[in-house]
Chain A
């Protein structure tokens, strides 16, 4: 059992959902404000971390 991998999957899905939320908030142009860009950057950074965890847990 890799609880770490499972957590990373859910955390990744939640982070993607946060991005989905930003896309919904900014329809139809998807032009992000500076604050939204900072938020998106933070989310993507965290998402990359979750992907790294998945690589470590499942592919190493």
Chain B
């Protein structure tokens, strides 16, 4: 799931549950998750982006 899609779903769910105060926290979490996914040590199934292969 992309970060964009995940965030859309999460925000909708927070609103549905009556937790609008969760919105800024989920947006901050999305930024942190994006950073996590973009880290250069993440392995990749192609093998081309495996940190140990570079």
Q: Do A and B bind each other?
A: no
